[in-house]
Amino acid sequence: MKQKFYDTAVKQEKVVLVGVITPNETEAREKEYLEELEFLVATAGGLTVKTFTQKLQRPERSTFVGTGKLEEIKEYVVAEEIDIVVFDDELTPSQMRNIERELQVKILDRSNLILDIFASRAQTAQAKTQVELAQLQYLLPRLTRLWTHLERQKGGIGMRGPGESQIETDRRLILNKISLLKERLKLIDRQNETQRKNRQQLIRVALVGYTNVGKSTIMNMLAKSDVFAENKLFATLDTTVRKVVIENVPFLLSDTVGFIRKLPHHLVECFKSTLDEVREADILIHVVDVSHPTFEDQIRTVNETLKDLKVVDKKTITVFNKIDAFNPADHNIDIKDTPLTMDDFNHSWMAKNNAPAIFISATEKENVEEFKTMLYDAVKKIHTERYPYDNLLY
């Protein structure tokens, strides 16, 4: 008998992206959002093969895009054997149900995709609990489409009377699990609070910024540690704290989860406890990827999230990272002498609008010593104010 061989390798799923251009958005901005969505898909392990966009006053209530566009997507999905269709905005439960019925493939929205990445990245008990809580809160209003095959009430001996439909049973189970996870998070929070109290003697510095700007690389450079750093979104999910000593000043440096545009609200809520490191920090280091064509939008997104966390009044140092990859043409800067010198960067509008600011390349170790000096001066100032009779610095 001839032996059969089966391919057990995990097949990369083929993905189609869908976005809507409303009057508030430009085509260029929507293109950039979809490029970021493509990066999210790649981070999750998918392969984007095509992108569909449609100009609308507002997304369609029932199917998000118009019926003609949905038919066009359906034809492509069938012809190219697409596995998943991802929408750039959060879909309502009814939109997801209608689109799924029409396209007959797996449908994800931006929130769902981010949750999936978070689930694969979570390492600690806290991160896993936070992600599970966010997933259940996302799932709760979307239960209907999971139980379309069960329309009848439960029956049988001991179950007669008002009865309880399967969907109601599941809703009750999920609500119970949500309250259980919230209690577990409160317990983890109390444990973390105790840990933080033990660290109160030292000045605390937190790295914040958009996702994939190089926060973990800077953390590894300053703390000589081995925090996981990768050119993917949300490589860091668990907050990492390391003790750093610059000259004679010790302080605690924490690396936090990166921010992103259109971050689902319930996800921010669930990760509030992780972001306590940001709230309780004395100094924030706002890391910016200066090589990104729309880094100004990223700065705005981070500042808005920091405003939500009520930490905008903290001492902040803006670190423009990746200057080695900076391309003036991406920012409509017309100069003859490229690349820009450090003096050009220091006298640019970037430095003036985000003072105090410094320009570095963490991977190439460019201008790193100047950054350490700036950080040393900031930590030393707070340390001497807080502990005026501490002989550590003398």
Mean pLDDT of 140-169: 57
Retrieve residue 394's tokens: 């003398």
For 219-238, how does the pLDDT look when each residue is reduced to its tens digit (9 = 90+)? 888 887 665 555 556 655 56
Q: How many other CB atoms are found less than 10 A from the CB of residue 87?
A: 26
Report which residue type is found at 363: T
Looking at the structure, tell me whether residues 130 and 236 fall in a common domain.
no
The Cβ-side half-sphere exposure at 235, using a 13 Å CA radius, reads: 17
Confidence of residue 151 (pLDDT cuts 50, 70, 90): very low
Domain boundaries, position 191: 122-148+165-198
Looking at the structure, tell me whether residues 268 and 349 fall in a common domain.
yes
Looking at the structure, tell me whether residues 229 and 205 fall in a common domain.
yes
Domain assignment present for residue 325? The answer is yes
Residue 102 pLDDT: 92
Contacts 24+ apart (CB under 8 A), 152-159: none
Residue numbering of the annotated binding site: 209-216, 234-238, 255-258, 321-324, 361-363
Residue 160 pLDDT: 45
Looking at the structure, tell me whether residues 24 and 74 fall in a common domain.
yes
**CATH number of 112's domain:** 3.40.50.11060
Looking at the structure, tell me whether residues 315 and 371 fall in a common domain.
yes
| Helix (H), strand (E), coil (C) string for 193-209 | HHHHHCCCCCEEEEEEE
Looking at the structure, tell me whether residues 194 and 209 fall in a common domain.
no
Domain assignment present for residue 154? The answer is no
Looking at the structure, tell me whether residues 111 and 144 fall in a common domain.
no
Q: Is 151 helix (H, G, I), strand (E, B) or coil?
A: coil
Residue numbering of the annotated binding site for Mg(2+): 216, 236
What is the distance between the alpha carbons of residues 108 and 87, in angstroms, rounded to a whole number? 6
Residue 66 pLDDT: 92
Both ends of the chain: CA-CA distance in Å?
A: 84
Number of domains composing the chain: 3
Confidence of residue 77 (pLDDT cuts 50, 70, 90): very high
Give the predicted TM-score (pTM) of the model: 0.78
Q: Between the CA of residue 323 and those of 37, 137, 213, 262, 344, what are the distances in Å?
A: 25, 40, 12, 27, 12
For 203-222, how does the pLDDT look when each residue is reduced to its tens digit (9 = 90+)? 889 999 888 888 888 888 88
Least reliable range by pLDDT among 200-204, 257-261, 335-339, 355-359: 335-339
Looking at the structure, tell me whether residues 232 and 376 fall in a common domain.
yes
Looking at the structure, tell me whether residues 29 and 173 fall in a common domain.
no
**CATH number of 382's domain:** 3.40.50.300
Residue 150 pLDDT: 47
Residue numbering of the annotated binding site for GTP: 209-216, 234-238, 255-258, 321-324, 361-363
Domain assignment present for residue 7? The answer is no
pLDDT at 94 over 50: yes
Domain assignment present for residue 126? The answer is yes
Q: pLDDT higher for 214 or 17?
A: 17
Domain assignment present for residue 6? The answer is no
